[in-house]
């Protein structure tokens, strides 16, 4: 089975590419961000551990993700502890997804992981695709997102690999920011180069 690993920093256009993969190519996509959201809502042990560490982000017995995100953006120690709590659990969920795809006989699938290279999960991918945009476009996109403080966000982004580091590691690249059509054409070229067609995944 071919595993296509998608990666890129915040507001680089990954969502546009994964949407196209799902809708146009019917590709099964595992989304790391969605997996984390699910864990924060469903993993009772994780919720308890976060409650013990950061009771101020718990509202009505559940983790308030906006409060948790704000705290992590402002406190690097908090961000590090959350990564320690969440990454291993998320990795297990990705392994479950890949095992399910193999059992179903799926020819190819996608994992969307923002920190794919940083956490070393690219070792499970057959090919990797880096999605990026010019920094000024990223800044424009981030400014439109509610609850995002660019100054506090910098210490999060500084933990990411640099763009040249990611480019050196990636198998393929997609530059977003010009138009969706341009992005889709780049994606189509990559999939054609790998002979990947629309799946029959149900």
- Please report whether residue 201 resides in a domain: no
- pLDDT score for 119: 93
Give the containing element (helix H, strand E) for 7. Answer: strand 2-7
Q: Could you tell me the CA-to-CA distances from 43 to 40, 63, 89, 93 in Å, in that order?
A: 6, 11, 9, 12
- pLDDT score for 145: 66
The whole domain housing 166 covers 2-193
- Please report whether residue 202 resides in a domain: no
CATH code of the domain in which 73 resides: 3.40.50.300
- Please report whether residue 140 resides in a domain: yes
CB neighbours of residue 193 within 10 Å: 11
- pLDDT score for 183: 92
- Please report whether residue 57 resides in a domain: yes
- Please report whether residue 138 resides in a domain: yes
- pLDDT score for 155: 61
- pLDDT score for 153: 64
Are 64 and 147 contacting, i.e. CB atoms less than 8 angstroms apart? no
- pLDDT score for 42: 93
- pLDDT score for 156: 65
- Please report whether residue 199 resides in a domain: no
Q: What is the total count of domains within the chain?
A: 1
Residue whose tokens read 């995100």: 69
pLDDT in tens, the chain (202 residues): 999 999 998 777 788 899 999 999 999 999 999 999 999 999 999 999 999 999 999 998 899 988 888 888 788 888 889 988 999 999 999 999 999 999 999 999 999 999 999 999 999 999 999 999 877 676 666 666 665 665 656 666 777 898 899 999 999 999 987 888 899 999 999 999 999 988 777 5
In sign, the C-alpha dihedral spanning 61, 36, 17, 137 is positive
- pLDDT score for 112: 97
């Amino acid at each position: 089975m071919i595993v296509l690993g998608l990666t890129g920093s915040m507001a680089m256009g990954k969502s546009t590419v994964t949407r196209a993969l799902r809708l146009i190519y019917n590709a099964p996509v595992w989304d790391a961000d969605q997996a984390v959201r699910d864990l924060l809502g469903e993993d009772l042990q994780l919720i308890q551990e976060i409650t013990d560490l950061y009771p101020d982000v718990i509202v009505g017995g559940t983790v308030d993700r906006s409060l948790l995100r704000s705290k992590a953006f402002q406190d690097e120690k908090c961000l590090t502890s959350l990564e320690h709590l969440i990454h291993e659990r998320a990795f297990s969920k990705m392994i479950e997804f890949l095992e399910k795809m193999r059992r179903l006989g799926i020819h190819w699938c996608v994992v969307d992981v923002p920190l794919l290279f940083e956490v070393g999960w690219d070792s499970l991918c057959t090919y990797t695709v880096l999605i990026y945009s010019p920094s000024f476009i990223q800044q424009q996109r981030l400014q439109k997102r509610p609850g995002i403080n660019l100054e506090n966000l910098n210490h999060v982004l500084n933990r990411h690999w640099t763009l040249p580091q990611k480019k050196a590691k990636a198998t393929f690249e997609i530059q977003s920011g010009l138009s969706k059509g341009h992005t889709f054409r780049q994606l189509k070229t990559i999939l054609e180069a790998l002979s990947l067609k629309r799946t029959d995944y149900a």
